[in-house]
Amino acid sequence: MDEDELPSSEVEWRDCLTEEEYRILRESGTEPKFSGEYVDKKDDGAYVCAGCGAELFDSETKFGSGTGWPSFYDAKEDAVEFREDTSHGMVRTEVVCATCDGHLGHVFDDGPEPTGKRYCINSVALGFDEE
């Protein structure tokens, strides 16, 4: 989906997303741990934004973090943006899609080499394109 084809209002977003996708992507929700379809997925391909289809993560950067959410040690260049999140009495770094501004999850500094990052991402916020 091109940026000029993105929904221009929350009403339009509600029309094109499922209730759960809307809660996660547009209202910064979180799916229950170990509930997402991509937690244990090991296929080769690309993880894309469920809201706009933008490519976000390569399957080669996915790793088993044991946290209950899909985890990646790196994102595609310019695919995501970061914001300070002070919700729930914590200070975290939120990860959003650079194309549609959809909430994806959070990034932490406890991941593996080569980046040391752990992108902790909601499965509901993702789609998957097989290679």
Which one of the listed residues 49, 52, 100, 120 is annotated catalytic?
Answer: 120
Phi/psi for 101 (5° steps) reads 70, 20
- With the CA atoms of 97, 41, 111 and 101 taken in that order, what torsion angle do they form, in degrees rounded to the nearest 10? 10
Please say whether the beta carbons of 69 and 123 come within 8 A.
yes
Whether 97 is catalytic is no
Q: What is the DSSP string of 89-117?
A: G--EEEEEETTT--EEEEEES---TTT--
State whether residue 130 is helix, strand or coil: strand
Catalytic annotation, residues:
120
